[in-house]
Amino acid sequence: MRLRVAVLGAGSFGTTMAHLASFRSPTVLWCRRAETADEINEQHTNGRYLGEHRLSSTLGATASIEEAVRDADVVVMGVPSHGVREVLSGVADSIRAWVPVVSLAKGLEPDTLLRMTQVVREVLPDHPAGVLTGPNLSAEIMADYAAASVIAFENAEVARQIQHIFHSGLLRVYTNDDVPGCELGGALKNVIAIATGMGDGLGVGDNTRAAVITRGLAELTRLGVAMGGRPETFAGLTGMGDLVATCTSRHSRNRHVGEELGRGRSIEEIIEAMNQVAEGVKTSRVVMELGDKHGVDLPISREVYGVLYEGRTAMDAYRGLTRRAAGAERDPG
């Protein structure tokens, strides 16, 4: 029996994952806007987020969230992290018992500091909660470039069943039971991507970019391990892999934010001009709170936070990083 899939959220990644799932499972995509659902059903495109890329003709879309979830065997959350709780709460009475919930969001809840699977467990305590994450840029997946992803659940059998929904010839999906590590790698790397983008906007060069990415990996690993992740997870697809892709790709929203900051634009101007969410902007604030809570020094994240929320410039941030004393490589900073 093929599992029926509901994807909630018709942004770029939600639509991309719904497109892939529809080749193996009956899939319906919930769209906030009725006109988006009509476009997907009639033209098989989502022009607002994916341009002219063609979607599977078997993918259905609806503007009714209850219709999307009522028969689903798997629910995939494709909304930004700050909206996950609200959307889940709205459909809690419509989702059938024990249906697994998969998060695609690479962020943390601002007020509670929770990971998305923790939010799922609070709202739907009897449902298995997991995450699909990795170096997965939607534009490249839709253009049929090869990629790899990770599906993380504590229950290995649930992970294997959902793995088959998304695994294809060009998207290799691996399983992992380190849910905290996989989630945190995806969320924390967005802050480092903003830092890398700032350097690109300033024109600091490839050597500096490599240093920021490498020290950024060490930084997110320290915090991720303090929060329950396994060190080896951060050396894999959901840590180093996602970090490299997000810090270097022209498709990366968070890198774009940093690059524009490096060119002297304000964060308000940058966000106003974007039609998608750059999770790292909100995550930066949460990361600083988590660093204080767990006693972890986060020098790169601190500089990003200063630019986003304290009126500092990208040049100030890079000067701050270069002024830090260099100790042993395993040390913070």
> Which pLDDT score is estimated for 101?
98
In the predicted model, what is the mean pLDDT of residues 225-244? 97
| Cβ–Cβ < 8 Å for 8, 77 | yes
* Location of each CATH 1.10.1040.10 domain in the chain: 187-322
Distances 104 to 72, 132, 236, 268, 332 between C-alpha atoms, Å: 17, 6, 18, 26, 30
pTM for the full model? 0.91
List, for residues 10-58, the tens digit of each pLDDT value: 999 999 999 999 999 999 999 999 999 999 999 999 999 999 999 999 9
| Cβ–Cβ < 8 Å for 223, 188 | yes
Q: Kindly report the average pLDDT of the chain as a whole number.
A: 93
Active site residue 189: yes
CATH 1.10.600.10 fits 187-322, yes or no: no
Q: Is the pLDDT of residue 327 over 70?
A: no
Could you tell me how far CA 121 lies from the centroid of its own chain? Answer: 19
In the predicted model, what is the mean pLDDT of residues 105-132? 96
List, for residues 125-152, the tens digit of each pLDDT value: 999 999 999 999 999 999 999 999 999 9
Q: Is the pLDDT of residue 269 over 60?
A: yes
| Cβ–Cβ < 8 Å for 64, 71 | no
* Location of each CATH 3.40.50.720 domain in the chain: 5-177
pLDDT band at 243 (very low <50, low <70, confident <90, very high): very high
In the predicted model, what is the mean pLDDT of residues 108-122? 96
Instruction: Of 73, 49, 45, give the one whose Cα is nearest residue 59.
Output: 45
Distances 258 to 82, 124, 316, 317 between C-alpha atoms, Å: 21, 36, 13, 11
Q: Is the pLDDT of residue 325 over 60?
A: no
| Environment class of 33 (CB within 10 Å of its CB; exposed 0-12, middle 13-18, buried 19+) | exposed
Instruction: Of 252, 250, 257, give the one whose Cα is nearest residue 272.
Output: 257
CA dist 257 and 193 (Å) reads 9
| Cβ–Cβ < 8 Å for 175, 149 | no
Compute, in degrees rounded to 10, the torsion defined by CA atoms 34, 35, 37, 42.
Answer: 140
Could you tell me how far CA 134 lies from the centroid of its own chain? Answer: 8
Over pLDDT 70: what percentage of the chain? 96
Which single residue is written with the structure tokens 């503007």?
63
Tell me the longest C-alpha to C-alpha distance in the chain.
60
In the predicted model, what is the mean pLDDT of residues 108-126? 96
| Environment class of 20 (CB within 10 Å of its CB; exposed 0-12, middle 13-18, buried 19+) | buried
List, for residues 187-206, the tens digit of each pLDDT value: 999 999 999 999 999 999 89
Q: Which ranges of 73-178 does DSSP label H, i.e. alpha helix?
A: 84-91, 116-123, 138-142, 156-166
Specify the CATH architecture of the domain 5-177.
3-Layer(aba) Sandwich (3.40)
> Which pLDDT score is estimated for 81?
92
pLDDT band at 324 (very low <50, low <70, confident <90, very high): low
Look at residue 298 and give its three-state secondary structure: coil
Helix (H) or strand (E) holding 182: helix 179-202
List, for residues 47-74, the tens digit of each pLDDT value: 999 999 999 999 999 999 999 999 999 9
Q: Which of 106, 189, 282, 293 is catalytic?
A: 189
